Amino acid sequence: MSEARKLFIKTYGCQMNVYDSERMAEALGAKGYVLTEVAEEADMVLLNTCHIREKAAEKVYSDLGRLRPLKTAKPDLKIGVAGCVAQAEGEEILKRMPLVDLVVGPQSYHRLPDMLERTEGGARVVDTDFPEEDKFDHLPERKATRGPAAFLTVQEGCDKFCAFCVVPYTRGAEVSRPFARLMAEARGLVEKGVREITLLGQNVNAWSNDGRGLGGLIRELARIDGLERLRYTTSHPNDMADDLIEAHGAEPKLMPYLHLPVQSGSDRILKAMNRKHTAEHYLRLVERIRAARPDILLTSDFIVGFPGETEADFEATLDLIRAVGFGSAFSFKYSARPGTPAAEKPELPAEVCDARLQRLQALVTEQQRAAQVAMVGREVGVLYEKAGRLPGQMVGKSDHLHAVHVEDPAGRVGDLVRVRITASAPNSLAGERLGA
């Protein structure tokens, strides 16, 4: 039997890309590839890219440059670029980087095996189409996951066209995967030992199919024996339907954690961003969600220094953060993405953006630490995902998605246990197992 070929994948960006990388590995696994964590061992290197942040494409080109000596040493090595930079740059990647053999967009990666076969004949291949066929119909069955928690993509694309965002252009229009296929994939994951599933989508709460919204899907998934926890990300405030809010209060398997990006607290900036909601709408929505699930931990996204943002606009964002009280947040300086409406507007001075970002992050860090300190003394569920660095220690995620270190010599990966939180550190919690 010939030796298996090895595949190295570098994943940039969001959980959607993590999921896509797993599916691409499975697709190539059907052609005899096995994963390696060492690029130098690989017969194929695949960069699964993200285009959200500034200079994302240049980072990919830089990483490709670092692969040049490896390609020189191993001329038969195949190098591919996948994901959103691939979708945005297309043929340009082949022009700038002769070492690249194939470029594949996020809606076409089910075609990877055929593309790879063509490269073995000497061709250089680009596929950035938005095919009519559903790529999920052409992917192999999910393999066993690396742990007790898994991602499940339920929705792709976005129709919101926020002025700063490239997702509608790189991922396409909103598409919801069929209910029956999601249920089958979820059952398959549970049969392989998964106990927690996070539902993914660029705009996940826009999912709808077979007369159901996301709240209905969650209720049906919760009926699967052996599936203990459900989460979803990332959401848009305008698609938080009543049944989804109700599910937070009615479904115990839906964890008390919600990532709900707002981006700004200024109505003027929200309008310029084409977010189609106001700060007041967001605050009232938070009230409704907390009324349904009082212990829910909320996180968000913020863009600082959007074109035209004044000091008053920025203060309005700080006011919103103070009003909500977030468990954590992702915050970034605005970066122009080519082809988006906001990219045509004059940018603020870098020093202004830097100073505002530091102030916002200081406030969010203060809230994050307060939220973690408030957990001390509370009892939570923790799903063990790996052994800790210390002997007899296990590490897992709490109901609220905090990393928790637990002294539990008898613990095993996949155990879902009750834990009393005993201490808070900057980025994690410590606890003791109850009833062990």
Q: Which residues are part of a known binding site for [4Fe-4S] cluster? A: 14, 50, 84, 158, 162, 165
At residue 426, φ and ψ (nearest 5 deg) are -55, -40
Provide the β-strand partners of residue 213: 208
Contact criterion met (CB below 8 Å) for 100 and 80: yes
Assign 382 to helix, strand or coil: strand
Contact criterion met (CB below 8 Å) for 163 and 274: yes
CB within 8 Å of 359: residues ≥ 6 apart: 318
- Residue 294 burial class via C-beta count within 10 angstroms: exposed 0-12, middle 13-18, buried 19 and up: exposed
CB within 8 Å of 352: residues ≥ 6 apart: 305
Cα-based distances in Å from 255 to 70, 144, 293, 351, 384: 45, 23, 10, 40, 16
Q: How far apart are CA 220 and CA 210, in angstroms?
A: 12
Residues of the binding site: 14, 50, 84, 158, 162, 165
- Residue 225 burial class via C-beta count within 10 angstroms: exposed 0-12, middle 13-18, buried 19 and up: exposed
Secondary structure letter of residue 135 according to DSSP: G
Report how far apart the first and last C-alpha atoms of the chain are (Å, whole number).
48
Contact criterion met (CB below 8 Å) for 112 and 28: yes
CB atoms within 10 A of CB 311: 9
Provide the β-strand partners of residue 8: 45
CB within 8 Å of 307: residues ≥ 6 apart: 272, 334, 342, 345, 346, 347, 348
Q: How many helices (H) and strands (E) does the chain have?
A: 14, 21
Cis check for the bond before 234: say yes or no (omega within 30 of 0).
Answer: yes
Q: How far apart are CA 153 and CA 199, in angstroms?
A: 6
Supply angle C-alpha 170, 173, 174, rounded to 5. Answer: 120
Contact criterion met (CB below 8 Å) for 384 and 413: yes
